[in-house]
Amino acid sequence: MRRCATLLATVLLMAVAARADEALKPEQLKKAYDDTLVQLKAAQNRKAELAKENEALAAKVEELSKQLAASQTQLDAMRRQVADNDDRTFYLRSYHAAWQRFIRRYPEVMTRWKIYLGNSALSVPQESTELPDLDWPWPIAG
């Protein structure tokens, strides 16, 4: 818009300067006027195109913002899940280590445990692979 105003002012200044030097012919003024109108229309068309492009880009930005928010929510949920898994892993490892120490300290209990599991009491002691149910008091309904 500023460009158009500058062009119009330039045409008017040319007309005033030309009048001072010599009188311009009406054809020359008409041509200058028509050129200015063409440039003004081109500037208005470009402005409309830029407005449309701006709207399209604004819609893309909005869509990407929604995708980012969804990704952030998913990332937060995954981080919580990783933290929960870390807590459970620590609990299981410490529980298993305590159980192994306990069972080695009391060989009679180890014998009874192996019989309970169905192994022979005379077999070579092996690590137990069973893990306790972490949700034991309140099992999760599936």
pLDDT, tens digit, for every residue of 26-48? Answer: 888 899 899 999 999 999 999 99
Exposure on the CB side of residue 98, measured as CA atoms within 13 A = 8
Q: Quick one: pLDDT at residue 114?
A: 82
Q: How confident is the model at residue 142 (pLDDT cuts 50, 70, 90)?
A: very low
Could you report the per-residue pLDDT of 52-105, keeping only the tens digit for each?
999 999 999 999 999 999 999 999 999 999 999 999 999 999 998 998 899 889
CA 72 to chain centre: 6
Amino acid of residue 90: F
What would the two tokens of residue 17 be? 């300067």
Higher-pLDDT residue of 42, 131: 42
Q: Please report the pLDDT score of residue 111 as a whole number.
A: 86
The single-letter DSSP state of residue 25 is P
Closest to 44 in 3D by CA, of 4, 92, 100: 4
- Residues 8 and 1: their CA atoms lie apart, in Å, by 11
Cβ(69)–Cβ(63) below 8 Å: no
pLDDT tier at 107 (50, 70, 90 boundaries)?
Answer: confident
- Whether 129 and 123 have beta carbons less than 8 Å apart is answered as no
> Can you tell me the distance from the alpha carbon of 16 to that of 29, in angstroms, rounded to the nearest whole number?
11
